[in-house]
Structure 1
Amino acid sequence: MTFRTAMIDSLIHSPLSIAPGAPSRQQQLLARFKDAILRGRLAAGGKLPSSRALCEELQVSRNTVLAVYEQLVAEGYAQADRQGTRVAALALSPAAVKAAPAMVARMANPRQSRRVATMTPTRDAGDRTLPLTPGMPALSRFPINAWLRAQERALRQAPPQVLGYGDPLGEPALREAIAHYLQVARGVRCDASQVVVTEGAQGALSLCVRLFSNPGETAWMEDPGYGGARAAFHAGDLKTLAMPVDAEGIVIAPRLWRRRPARLVHVTPSHQYPSGAVLSLARRLELIAQAREAGSWIIEDDYDSEFRHRGHPVPAMQGLVPDAPVLYVGTFSKTMFPALRIGFLVLPASAGEGARPALAEMLRGGHRLEQLALAEFIAGGQFSRHLGRMRRLYRERQQALREALQAHLDTEHEVLGGDAGLHLAVRLPLRHEDVAISAAARAAGMNVGALSSFSARGRQADCNGLVIGYGNTSQEQFAPLMRRLARIVRATAEDVSAPSPAAATSRRR
C-alpha cells in the first residue's frame, strides 16, 4: 500500500458528516489529520497529497483542504516547502504511540495533590436555591433598581482608562468607602491605605496565607469551623490544628502557645461559624496578647457581623488595641449578594507598607466598574438603608424559625447561639445522624447543613446536629418546613422509638 493510499484510508474511514449541528467539514478533516499524525498512522516526513487530489478523493472544496493544510502547518503538525507539505517530525516514540489510549484514560482521571484529597466539602454547591440554606441572604429583597442606578452612574462617569488595569489593592474610591464604614460601624482602626479589595472573603483568606505564612507552618482554626479557612490553609500547605469552641468562643490551651505555636489563627469572634457563639472580651484580649508575644497573626473573619438581632453590634476585635496583630477579613456576599464576589482584607498598619510590593505582583486590579458602583452605592447611603431593612427582616425571620422549632421539632434538641447572622445551629442527640438527616432533607427540598460536617473531629456528642438558614426563607414557610424536618429527624433516628413530644426539651444557649 502506498503512503498516499494509507493516508486516504486513515482520513476517510467514515464519511465526513453533514448532519445539522455537526462540526464543519473543515473542522472534521483537521481533527482526523491530527489524530492520524499523533497515533503514528501518518509517518514523519511523509508528503501529503496535493490539495487538488485530496479534495477529489474526499469530495470537499479545495479551499477546505487548503485551510486544513495551513492550520496543520500553523500548529506544528506539518511543514511546508517548495516541494509540498510533509508530516512534521514529532517526539512520539513507538512506545508512546502504543500507550496513547492508556494515557488518555489516565488524563480523564488525573492524579491530584494531597491537599486536594484532604479537603472535605461542607456544602453542596448545586442546591443553594433551596429554602433553609445557611448563609444565603434574601436575594429577592435586594434593591436591584438602586444598584442598577449606581452601576449606570459609575459607567457614565468613568473615563476610558477604567477599562484598563487598576490599582492592585482595589479602586481608591471603594477602599475609602470601606475604611470609613468600618471605622464607624465596626470600630476598626484603619485608613484606606490598609484596605485590599479581594475576590470575596475566600480571596482574602488565601491572601492572608500567601502573605503571612510559609509551607509547613501551623495554623489554628475553630472546631466546628468555616471550611473555607481550612481549604485556604491546606492550599498553603499549612498544618492545621482544630481548637474546640464553647459558649464563649474558641478555647486555646495555654500550653499550645509553647509547644505548637500557630503562624495563623482563624476566628469568627462576632458570630462563630457555625455555632453562633460570641468570643468573650477576656478571650479576645488574651488571644491578642498571646499572638503578639508568639509572633502569630489572627485572622478575624467578620463575615456577617452587621446582622445583630439583640442589642448593639459587637465591635471588631481588631480595634481593641492599637496595631493589634489582626488581619481583618470581610465580605459583601451577605450584605449585598454572593455573585458580587467582592471582599476585603484590612492589613495592620505595621504590615501594610511592607506587603505592598508583593501585592503589586500577586494582584492585577480588576472588576473596576463593579467596585466603582459599590463605592457609589455606599457613599450614596443605599448600603446603610439596605442593611437597616435586612436587619429588621432577618430578626423577624429568626424569631419565626425559633417559634417553628419550638412548636414542631418534637425531638430533644438545643438551639446554639443565634443572636446574629443568617442561621441557627441546632444540636441533636447522637442517635440522630445529622449527615443522614441533611441528605434526606435535601431530597425533600430543604437545604439544612449537618453540623458534624463543619468539624475535623467528625460526629461527636457536642457536634451533631443541623445548621438551618433563615435568610432566604420567608416567615410563612417555617412552620410547614419544620413539620417536614421533624418527620425526617424521627425517621432517621437509630433508635426508631422517638421520644414523645411531652418528653422533648428545647434548650437555648
Structure 2
Amino acid sequence: MDYAVMLSNFEREAGRDASARIPQQQRLYHCLRAAILKGDIGEGTRLLPTRELAADLGVARNSVLYAYERLAEEGFVHAKRQGTVVARVGLQQSPAVMAGETPVLSKRVADIVRPGAGMDDPLPFLPGTPALDEFPLAQWRRCVERAWRAAGAAQLGYMRRDDNLTLRQAIAEYLRVSRGVRCDADQVLVTDGTQSALDLCARALAEANDIAWMENPGYGGARNAFLAADLRLVPIPVDADGLAPDPQHWRDTPPKLIYITPSHQYPLGAVMSLERRLALIAEARAAGALIIEDDYDSEFRHHGAPLAAVQGLADDAPVIYLGTFSKVMFPALRIGFMVLPRALAPAFRSTAGALMLRGRIVEQLALADFIEAGHFTRHLRRMRRLYAERRMALEDALQRHVNGLLTVSGGAGGMHLSARLDVPVADTEVSSVGRTHGLVLRALSRFCLPGTQTGYNGLVFGYGSVPASRMDPLAQQVRTVIQLALANRARRRE
C-alpha cells in the first residue's frame, strides 16, 4: 500500500500544528481519517501493522494504536484476524465528483446581482453606508440595557406575532407624523430589513411567472428577490420625475407588482412628481397591481421638508410601504418594517409568521424606547445636516477636480449621488481601477437589467460615511482613476 500521501499529510500537520501542541496520536488519527474519507486509502484496504507504521513514521507504537482504536470506534476500520481493514461503508466518490463535476445553482438565481470585490469593505464612497461614528451609541446602549433589565423568561423564547406591539405602535405614530402614511399598528409588520420584506412580497403576493416592474436602473436587492421567486422582470425607464411607464407597458406587460423608490430613486436620485404618483396609484388600482414603495432614505432630504409617501395619497391605496432602520441608524440592527393595506394585513401577517424567523424582542423593545424618548428624531435631524454638508462638499470637490470628466445628476437627498461619465470609457473599467486605488466606485450600468445598459455609463458615490474634510483629496483620486482607465483603454486600442 502507498502511504506517500498520508505521510506527507502527517508531516505537514505536524509542522502546522506544533504551536497548538496537538498530540501526535491525534494528528495521526486525523490524517488517517482524512485519507480514508478522501479515498486515498480505499475501502477494504488492510492498514500496516501498528509496529511497522510506527517505525515508518518515527512515532511511538501507542500513537498508532490510539489512532486505530479511534477509527474502529467510529466505524472507519474493523480489526480482523488478518489485521486492521478499512470498512466498506460507501465512501467511494460518486462518478460525477470523480469526473470533476460540481453542483450548480438553480437557474432562477443565475442573474442574481452579487456584491463586487470590496463591496463590504469600509472604503470611501460605498453606497448605503451611514455615518456610523456619529451614531449616539451611549443613548442606544442605555435603551438596550433598560430593555434587558425589564426582560424575563418570556422574552427569551420565540416571539409571538403580537409581541412587538410597542414597536409597531411607535413606528405607526412616527410614520403618520413624518411621512404622511395612513396606518395603525395592526398594519405594521416588523421585518429583518428591506430585503426580508422584499422576499416576503415576492413569495406571498405573486405566482411564478407573474410580472414585476422594476425601475431601470434600479435596486439590485429587489431584482434578486423577484428573480428568486421566479417572477418575470420588466424594466421600466426612469426620468426626472421617476418611474415612467407608457401605455404600451400597461397594455402588453400588465404587472402584479411594481417596485418604486419615489422619494430618492435608487441609484439616479430622481424624485417622483406628485402627478406621476397619483397616476401610478390610479393605473395600479385599475390593473389589480400592488405598488411596493421602498422609502429607504426619505428622511434625508436636503432641501425642504421630506415629501409625503405615495401610500398616504389615497384611501386604501394599493401600496405596500417598506422602511428600514439600517440606513437611518446602523445596518447591524437588522430591523425594518412594512405597512400593509388594511384589507391585506391579517392574511399577510399570518403568512409572514410562518415564513419569517421570530425573536430579538429585546432589541425591538430597545428601539421602541429609542424612538419614544426622542433620540431617533434628534439623530435624524443631526444626520440630515451632516449628509447635506457632505454632499455639498463632494459636489464642490468633483466640480473642482473632475469637471469635464463627470456630470453630477439626481435630486439633492439621501446618502448617495450618481454622476454621468463624460469621457469614452466604460464605467465598469473605472470601477475596477478605482478598487485598486482603495475606492468603491459603483458602475451605474450594473444597476440595469441585462441587455438594457445602453445610455447608462456613470458612477454612484456613497458619501454618508465620508467626512467633508476628505472630499477634496478623494475627488483628486477619482480624477486619477478615470485618467488611468482612459489610458488603459487607449493602450488596448493600439
Q: What range describes the TM-score normalised by the shorter chain of this pair?
A: 0.7 to 0.9
**TM-score with structure 1 setting the length:** 0.83
**CA 1:290–1:336 in structure 2 vs 1: closer, same or farther (change >3 Å)?**
same
Tell me, in whole angstroms, the C-alpha distance in 2 between the residues paired with 1:126 and 1:22: 38
**CA 1:33–1:347 in structure 2 vs 1: closer, same or farther (change >3 Å)?**
same
Q: 1:134 aligns with which of 84, 104, 127?
A: 127
Match of 2:106 in 1: 113
**CA 1:362–1:78 in structure 2 vs 1: closer, same or farther (change >3 Å)?**
farther
Tell me, in whole angstroms, the C-alpha distance in 1 between the residues paired with 2:209 and 2:432: 36
The alignment status of 1:59 with 2:57, answered yes or no, reads no
Match of 2:188 in 1: 195
Tell me, in whole angstroms, the C-alpha distance in 2 between the residues paired with 1:10 and 1:135: 49
The alignment status of 1:180 with 2:179, answered yes or no, reads no
Equivalent runs, 1:38-187 vs 2, <5 Å: 39=39, 43=43, 58-60=61-63, 66-70=69-73, 72-73=74-75, 90-91=89-90, 97=93, 99=95, 102=98, 105-107=100-102, 110-121=103-114, 123-126=116-119, 128-168=121-161, 171-187=164-180
**CA 1:153–1:28 in structure 2 vs 1: closer, same or farther (change >3 Å)?**
farther
Equivalent runs, 1:68-467 vs 2, <5 Å: 68-70=71-73, 72-73=74-75, 90-91=89-90, 97=93, 99=95, 102=98, 105-107=100-102, 110-121=103-114, 123-126=116-119, 128-168=121-161, 171-411=164-404, 413-429=406-422, 431-456=424-449, 457=451, 459-461=453-455, 463-467=456-460
Report the Cα offset of residue 234 of structure 1.
Answer: 0.9
Instruction: Tell whether the 8 Å contact from 1:10 to 1:41 is kept in structure 2 after alignment.
Output: no
Identical counterparts, % of pairs? 43
Letter in 1 for 2:130: P
Tell me, in whole angstroms, the C-alpha distance in 2 between the residues paired with 1:248 and 1:469: 22
**CA 1:209–1:9 in structure 2 vs 1: closer, same or farther (change >3 Å)?**
same
**TM-score with structure 2 setting the length:** 0.86
**CA 1:215–1:28 in structure 2 vs 1: closer, same or farther (change >3 Å)?**
farther
3-state SS of paired residue (2:379): helix
Match of 1:503 in 2: none
Q: Which runs of 5+ in 1 are unaligned?
A: 1-5, 498-509
**CA 1:408–1:91 in structure 2 vs 1: closer, same or farther (change >3 Å)?**
closer
**CA 1:62–1:422 in structure 2 vs 1: closer, same or farther (change >3 Å)?**
same
Tell me, in whole angstroms, the C-alpha distance in 1 between the residues paired with 2:428 and 2:7: 55
Letter in 2 for 1:148: R
Aligned residues: 478
Instruction: Tell whether the 8 Å contact from 2:189 to 2:349 is kept in structure 1 after alignment.
Output: no
Letter in 2 for 1:21: A
Match of 1:29 in 2: 29
Q: Describe the superposition over 1:247-299 as per-residue Cα deviations: whole angstroms up to 9, x where unpaired.
A: 00011111222221111111000110111111111111111112112221111
Tell me, in whole angstroms, the C-alpha distance in 1 between the residues paired with 2:307 and 2:427: 31
The worse-fitting range, judged by mean Cα deviation, of 483-492 and 226-235 is 483-492
3-state SS of paired residue (1:304): coil
The worse-fitting range, judged by mean Cα deviation, of 252-261 and 237-246 is 252-261
**CA 1:122–1:425 in structure 2 vs 1: closer, same or farther (change >3 Å)?**
farther
Tell me, in whole angstroms, the C-alpha distance in 2 between the residues paired with 1:10 and 1:496: 48
Letter in 2 for 1:106: E
**CA 1:15–1:115 in structure 2 vs 1: closer, same or farther (change >3 Å)?**
closer
Report the Cα offset of residue 23 of structure 1.
Answer: 5.7
Report the Cα offset of residue 449 of structure 1.
Answer: 1.6
Letter in 2 for 1:229: A
**CA 1:260–1:481 in structure 2 vs 1: closer, same or farther (change >3 Å)?**
same
Report the Cα offset of residue 368 of structure 1.
Answer: 2.4
CA RMSD of aligned residues (A): 3.4
Letter in 2 for 1:36: I
Instruction: Tell whether the 8 Å contact from 1:218 to 1:239 is kept in structure 2 after alignment.
Output: yes
